Amino acid sequence: MSVPHTIVTGHTQADDRTEQVVGTVLRLGVFIAAAVTLVGGALYLMQAGATRPDYHTFRGQASPLRSLAAVAHGVAAGNAEAIVQAGVVLLIATPIARVALTLVAFAMRKDRLYAVISAIVLALLAYGLLGG
Amino acid sequence: MPVTDITILLFLGALAAGLLGALTGLGGGAIIVPLLTILFHVDIRYAVGTSLVSVIATSSGAAAAYVKEGYSNIRVGMLLEIATTIGAVTGAYIAALVSPTAVAVIFGIVLLHTAWTSTRPRVEHIAGGPSDPIALRFRLDSTYPTANGPQHYQVQRVPLGFGLMYIAGVLSGLLGIGSGVVKVLAMDRAMHLPFKVSTTTSNFMIGVTAAASAGIYLHRGYIVPGLAFPVMLGVLAGALVGARMLPHLHTQKLRVVFSVLVTALAVELLLNAFTGKI
């Protein structure tokens, strides 16, 4: 760091460490989500490969796999489509985990301002996934 | 068409979209929705839900690759994510209120704008004037690595950037795209961040923004496994291959290809919307 300054914090080593952890979490999250989706997708092809689904008509609310509970029940029952949907949920959870980790990192550095900002973003994300 | 055939064709289409997205740096999200609605006659609501999933996949994959280089600005990203996530939630609610035809028309216009900006040269706006007092208050100024050591930069016009980010979030939530073009516009033009910083920080933010509305779409039944499975895996595979090929390619020509393709898709989408097919 060649630019010491009274107000500016710059890109610190703590930032680097946080980013490395975050990078690992992102990679791992995407990998797990893709693996689960692949397993579910392969089962789905074996079970329903010859059926002819109609995606031209929107059924929305009639879809059974709309809640986390329904997805979990489906996975427990070995339902192929539910396993794919679980992969999707894991994928959505990956950036959320990233924000949660960043919140922890800011809290550990006693950076109250950015801990609060991260908490606001996390709350909005939780609202989308759990409430909505 | 039986499931097996749809799956193979969708996987190949998504692979191409992910590849082109990674090579041009413009993301594949803009191509997935027109691909699904025009070629596969999928309802645009399913298309938007599926596209959001692919956007999260590519953003998280790409961000993981960029993260080591130390360009992204965590504080700028986190502060602006408040704007993009509120925007994304707003966009998901607007989507429930407007007709699929209106969504298709807005999508077509955004695609035309994307095609236009992607061929124009990006102009670096670093330096110039003192930092925005808000930037100092939120400690947004930072440094990024260059060949001559760490380079300091000062962040400008934070409220304007924040407002543009809200719009980027609304478009992302409404159309199922990453809105990378608007995000980079906000950070390059309004806030004067260096290219490498704005590009990598934007990539980071795209996944978080998309995750905010993806949950809402899941609850509404916009995300169906039969479409999400081949598209998510196809886009991811395309993005991974694209990242490997990137150092060996001349991307300026690819941006022209991308631009022509996006224009064609936009025109087709608008024609479909105006003739009542969507």
| CB nearest A18 (choices: B53, B63, B74) | B74
pLDDT in tens, B97-117: 999 999 999 999 999 988 888
Mutate to test the interface with A, among B53, B84, B162, B229 (most CBs of A within 10 A): B229
What percent of chain A stands above pLDDT 70? 89
Q: Quote the CA–CA distance of B204 and B222 in Å, as a whole number.
A: 24
Q: Do A45 and B78 touch (CB under 8 A)?
A: no
Q: Do B67 and A20 touch (CB under 8 A)?
A: yes
pLDDT of residue A23: 80
Interface of A with B in 56-95 (CB under 8 A): 56-63, 65-67, 80-82, 84-85, 87-89, 91-95
SS3 of residue B153 by DSSP = strand
pTM greater than the 0.80 cutoff: yes
pLDDT of residue A7: 41
Q: Quote the CA–CA distance of B251 and B259 in Å, as a whole number.
A: 12
Q: Do A117 and B70 touch (CB under 8 A)?
A: no
Burial zone of A27 (CB within 10 Å; 0-12 exposed, 13-18 middle, 19+ buried)? middle
Which segments of A1-132 does DSSP mark as H helices, in order? 13-48, 68-76, 80-108, 112-126
Average pLDDT, rounded, for chain A: 87
Q: Quote the CA–CA distance of B234 and B53 in Å, as a whole number.
A: 12
Q: Which one has a higher pLDDT value, A35 or B184? A: A35
Is the pLDDT at A45 greater than 70? The verdict is: yes
Is the pLDDT at A1 greater than 60? The verdict is: no
Q: Do B67 and A58 touch (CB under 8 A)?
A: no
pLDDT of residue A11: 64
Q: Are B184 and B201 in contact (CB under 8 A)?
A: no
Q: What is the ipTM of this complex?
A: 0.91
Q: Nearest-CA neighbor of A26 among B62, B28, B50, B70?
A: B62
pLDDT of residue A24: 84
Is the pLDDT at A3 greater than 60? The verdict is: no
A104 touches chain B (CB under 8 A): no
Average pLDDT of span A21-33: 87
Residues lower than pLDDT 70 in chain B: 63-69, 125-128, 247, 251
Residue B50, CA distances (Å) to A46, A81, B6, B19, B177 in order: 22, 14, 14, 17, 10
pLDDT of residue A33: 96
Mutate to test the interface with B, among A1, A52, A92, A114 (most CBs of B within 10 A): A92
pLDDT of residue A5: 39
Average pLDDT of span A23-29: 86
Q: Nearest-CA neighbor of B269 among B44, B19, B17?
A: B44
pLDDT in tens, A53-105: 889 889 887 778 899 999 999 999 999 999 999 999 999 999 999 999 999 99
Is the pLDDT at A4 greater than 50? The verdict is: no
Rounded to the nearest angstrom, the minimum Cα separation between B175 and chain A is: 16
Q: Are B271 and B37 in contact (CB under 8 A)?
A: no
pLDDT of residue A18: 75
Q: Which one has a higher pLDDT value, B68 or A45? A: A45
Mutate to test the interface with A, among B9, B45, B48, B143 (most CBs of A within 10 A): B143
pLDDT of residue A6: 37
Pick from A6-20, A49-63, A117-131, B4-18: least confident: A6-20
For chain B, the distance separating the N- and C-terminal CA atoms, rounded to the nearest angstrom, is 20
pLDDT of residue B64: 64
